[in-house]
Amino acid sequence: MRGTTVLPGTPCAEPRAGEPPVHRLEVPLPGVLPFAIGTFDSIGPMSRASFPHRHTFHEIVHVTGGSGTHAVDLRRWPVTPPQLWLIAPGQVHHWVAARGLEGTVVLFTDEFLAGDPAARDLLRRLGERPVPLDPAADRATAGLIAELDDEYRRDADGVASVLAALLHVLLVRTARLAGTPAPAGGGTGTVAAEFVRLVGRAGLEPWLVRDYARHLGVTPGHLTEAVRLATGRTPAEHVRAARAREAMRLLVSTDLTVRRIADRVGFADPAYFCRFFRREAGVSPGDFRDKHHDRRTQSIAAPRRPS
């Protein structure tokens, strides 16, 4: 599945120097569905990782008990069960002083989104903050996640299609709870879907729209039309947002210099990067780091251990 899954015991994907480790989804055998569901304990210690890291997969966490703080990209949020977390590939997150975490963790790759770029974009937007659950919403969410768990363990014919459908229902219902517009149905084409997937992978190069078009085997004009129809935004807007978002993550979670961060997000000229960043974020990279950088996490290097 596009290199997003690995066999047990495979070390975490090697990050570039100074960047957070990248975790991949383990599968027991080649060809097994890149999907997992279970409790924090059954998924394993990485489900409670206390050091900043990224994923190559999506993670949904239904927290039903425990305390502590969850750091996601630029913000730290208190753990206040019941609540739902959606963490997209490329986001930097970790749990801080977490105690007694209880709930269910769902892991899956882009393939389960049925080629819908709007769904991927919605997952990213839902990953910006936790979704609090009132008692009724908590029961409904728990019921839907129990259906996912039951379907996965039955492993009957058509399991991938049913899991994708259940995930779509969970996504749309979560969007309602969060007050976030849900994606329109119907799919929007493989070109737009693949473009959104590629842009969402943090640190992926190239960063220029024409290079993405060449990689996808289409003209820049065709790519622009397909992506605009699918998402309501142009490819250039997606790329600018992705570059700015990645720069923010690196400023907050690493000690890389501004010059090196500029290079990481595709700017050969640090001065031009600073102008770009100020236009996108409203402040200079230095001021942004001074405001958000976690001085208690000077090193994000993690011990080598399985994903």
Q: In Å, how far are 73, 89, 129 from 124, measured between CA atoms?
A: 12, 8, 10
Check whether residue 105 and residue 34 sit in a common domain: yes
pLDDT of residue 101: 94
Check whether residue 118 and residue 202 sit in a common domain: no
Written as six digits, the tokens of 297 are 């996490």
SS3 251: helix
User: Do 118 and 96 form a contact (C-beta atoms < 8 A)?
Assistant: no
Place of tokens 């990248």: 22
Check whether residue 197 and residue 231 sit in a common domain: yes
Check whether residue 155 and residue 209 sit in a common domain: no
Check whether residue 22 and residue 124 sit in a common domain: yes
Q: Is the pLDDT of residue 303 over 50?
A: no
Q: What is the mean pLDDT of residues 39-44?
A: 91
Distance CA 164, CA 150 (A): 14
Which class for 220: exposed (0-12), middle (13-18), buried (19 or more C-beta within 10 A)?
A: middle
CA 76 to chain centre: 16
pLDDT digits (tens, 9 = 90+) for 127-179: 878 999 999 999 999 999 999 999 999 888 888 889 988 988 898 899 899 88
Name the residue range of residue 264's domain. Answer: 190-292
Name the domain boundary from 148, 178, 208: 178
Q: Is the pLDDT of residue 215 over 90?
A: no
Give a yes or no: residue 234 inside a domain.
yes
Check whether residue 150 and residue 194 sit in a common domain: no
Check whether residue 14 and residue 163 sit in a common domain: yes
pLDDT band at 1 (very low <50, low <70, confident <90, very high): very low
State how many domains the chain has. Answer: 2
Q: What share of the chain is helix, strand, coil (3-state, %, to 5)?
A: 45, 20, 35
Give a yes or no: residue 303 inside a domain.
no
Q: Is the pLDDT of residue 52 over 50?
A: yes
Report the CATH number that the domain containing residue 232 is assigned in CATH: 1.10.10.60
Check whether residue 211 and residue 256 sit in a common domain: yes
pLDDT band at 25 (very low <50, low <70, confident <90, very high): confident
Give a yes or no: residue 185 inside a domain.
no
Count other Cβ atoms within 10 Å, centred on residue 210.
Answer: 12
Check whether residue 26 and residue 173 sit in a common domain: yes
Place of tokens 């001021």: 287
Name the domain boundary from 178, 201, 235: 178
Give a yes or no: residue 74 inside a domain.
yes
Q: What are phi and psi of 77, to 5 degrees?
A: -125, 140
Give a yes or no: residue 298 inside a domain.
no
pTM for the full predicted model: 0.68
Check whether residue 230 and residue 157 sit in a common domain: no
Place of tokens 């024409």: 210
Report the CATH number that the domain containing residue 85 is assigned in CATH: 2.60.120.280
Distance CA 39, CA 46 (A): 12
Name the domain boundary from 178, 206, 234: 178
Q: What is the mean pLDDT of residues 259-274?
A: 90
Distance CA 249, CA 19 (A): 10
Give a yes or no: residue 102 inside a domain.
yes
**Can you say whether the dihedral through the CA atoms of 296, 130, 193, 5 is positive or negative?**
positive
